[in-house]
A and B are shown apart, each in its own frame.
Chain A
Amino acid sequence: MAAWDSTAKDRLAPKGRWTRRGGHAIAPTVALFPGSDRGKRRDQELGAVGQVTQFEAISEPGTDRIFDFPAPSTRVRCAVADICDGFGQSWLWMRLAHQDLRLRYRGSILGPFWQTITTVILISSMGVIYAKLFRVELHDYLPMLTVGLISWVFVSGMITEGCGTFDSERNIIQQVKLPLSLHAYRLVYRNVLVLAHSFVIIPIVLIIFPHPIAWIRLLEIVPGMLLLMINGVAVSILLGMVCARFRDVPPIVASIVQVVFFLTPIFWPPTALGKNAWWALLNPLYAAIDVVRAPLLGIPTSPHSWTIMAIVTGINCVAAFMFFSRFRARIAFWV
């Protein structure tokens, strides 16, 4: 008989220990029909329950999963363990994300490149018209639009899909014990993969409309993308939980995202607002797009965008963690 592969087991074995606080006394005997003769007979018969379940002392080193609820300190530790274990199983969420895309585009020849083609069509049609509307050179406008739109698709994709982080995986959540954060990592990684497919447009556009590329500036895209991904995980945990609990949130989020697309300087430059430009700058999604767009276009990222992004990341992470540690155990009941 094949023994459990030890590496597989180690990967899955939950880490961390939790201890018990307080005792609970619930009498295991149940009198179904008290009073009647039958009831008495049953009482005697069922009285045996307490004796059968006597516990023997178990050597402590062997234990590896102890749940004890509700205890706030336990919750925080469980949440931290979940987030770390989930991240540790990177091979799993990466594979699952690949699998998601493969299944999503099963039977189609172009697969995820359909998204790329959609973007190309959108960019070329919008680019020509809006360059005329805003009376700007296509040469300046199109690269801005391309990079802006592609980053927008990435950011908004994470937000809208974030509504289903847990709900769309209810089959798995209800059946298999896996770190719940794993679903958030999988979602973000899947969106990164989609982004990678559209990304090929950017060098093409930059070749057609050449701009001086500042190579040093290009490096700034690393912290920018990192911030977006961290926010993606936080937002998909947060929205995933809220949407699993309140079923009317996903449509609300969808419509807000749709409106915000027009309110965010993606296909129009913030300078077009004249002296009112500052309120576009307060939009956190503008900051999110700016930290990726500016380095690619060789423009310095405004310190303003970094500040906004830092604040937003902080708020998102704290909120997501507080929510997650408080309600993590409830997710299985919600979905």
Chain B
Amino acid sequence: MSFVRLENVSVEFPIYQGSSRSLKKLLLATSTRGNLARDARDRVNVRALSGVSFELRSGDRFALVGANGAGKTTLLKVLAGVFEPTDGRIISHGHVTSLLDTSVGLNVDATGYENIILRGMYMGMHPREMAQRAPAIAEFTELGDYLEMPVRTYSAGMMVRLAFAISTCVAPDILVMDEWVSAGDARFLAKAQRRIEEFVRHSSILVLASHSLDLIEKWCSRGILLHHGQMLRIGPIEEVIASYRRLTEELTAMEEAQAAAE
């Protein structure tokens, strides 16, 4: 039984631009008043998420939909436990496996097999355990002899296969995925979908962020529409996608109207 509950979660972080990253600027700014003081406070606070609340339970396949910069990745990172909310509360139960980036724990100079062990370690699995699971992983990736080669030589799609196969070699309680998974080819995606469906039947939770509405429609049952870090809509996936389409249309219409007015 796994669940995740977010209550009014907000994430706000300062963006350190050149000058405020500099120690000299900060020291000078605190010792001398005037123009320099503004330099140190020059940082821009970004409210990447604001007041996001929802609850996920076993068997949920949840999609995050929204335009670029809507806060999807930030929300995924919050769910993965990488970012801690600056406000609000998260309650979660179950082990989270995050697939935010294919490169996690993949060392491009090491071979596919070595990377299976390495990435497994970051997932908290002992190398001995991973060695036992390696054949099953190798089979899923269908990479064959490529697994003996350095990952540097892999294509993006091959890396996705490897990363996905390793991360899902044991059923995660909560699987958090970013859109890169769509770099795989159609056959791989079908295979991945079958695997995820199996997890979800065994009471796992899937959270997927993607721009590919087709993929989301196929994989997810519920979803949330984010816009500028706020929840616009939450509900069955068809409705969320419909809202997203409408939002995109409206934004485009508004831009056109503005352009026409000028």
Contact = CB atoms under 8 A, between A and B. Distances in A.
A171 B100 CA distance: 10
Contacts of B109: 103, 106
Contacts of A122: none
B129 A172 contact: no
A246 B26 contact: yes
Interface string A10-33: 011110000010001111101011
Interface stretch (A46-54, A134-142, A143-151, A231-239): A46-54
Interface stretch (A57-65, A195-203, A308-316): A57-65
B182 interface: no
A173 B89 contact: no
Nearest to B51: A26
Contact of B24 (A5, A68, A99, A248): A248
Contacts of A248: 21-24
Contacts of A175: 80, 82, 98, 100-101, 104-105
B54 A53 contact: yes
Contact of B232 (A30, A99, A249): A30
Contacts of A52: 54, 234-235
Contact of B8 (A24, A63, A106): A24
Contacts of B231: 28, 30, 49
Contact of A55 (B7, B233, B234, B247): B7
A4 B87 contact: no
B82 A173 contact: yes
B90 A66 contact: yes
- The B contact surface, by secondary structure, is mixed
B179 to A, nearest CB: 15
A26 B8 contact: yes
Interface in B95-114: 95-96, 98, 100-101, 103-105, 107, 109-110
A286 B185 CA distance: 60
A249 to B, nearest CB: 6
Contact of B51 (A28, A48, A68): A28
Contacts of B170: 2-5, 8
Nearest to A247: B21
Contacts of A32: 227, 232, 247, 250
Contacts, number: 183
A176 B53 contact: no
Contacts of A209: none
A216 interface: no
Interface in B66-107: 77, 80-93, 95-96, 98, 100-101, 103-105, 107
A114 interface: no
Contacts of A174: 77, 82, 100-101
Contacts of B50: 26
B127 A95 contact: yes
A65 B104 contact: no
Given A45-B233, A175-B98, A103 B107 contact: yes
A24 B87 contact: yes
B196 to A, nearest CB: 12
Given A28-B53, A248-B22, A333-B14, 13 more contacts: A24-B8, A53-B53, A55-B7, A55-B55, A56-B55, A103-B107, A103-B110, A173-B82, A174-B77, A246-B22, A247-B22, A329-B86, A330-B13
26 contacts: A3-B170, A4-B170, A4-B173, A5-B129, A8-B125, A9-B95, A25-B8, A26-B10, A28-B51, A30-B230, A32-B250, A33-B254, A45-B233, A45-B243, A63-B92, A66-B91, A67-B85, A68-B88, A69-B84, A69-B87, A89-B124, A92-B121, A176-B104, A177-B81, A248-B22, A248-B24
Interface of A: 1-5, 8-9, 11-14, 20, 24-28, 30, 32-33, 38, 42, 45-46, 48-49, 52-53, 55-56, 58, 62-70, 89, 91-92, 95-96, 99, 103, 106, 171-178, 245-249, 252, 329-330, 332-334
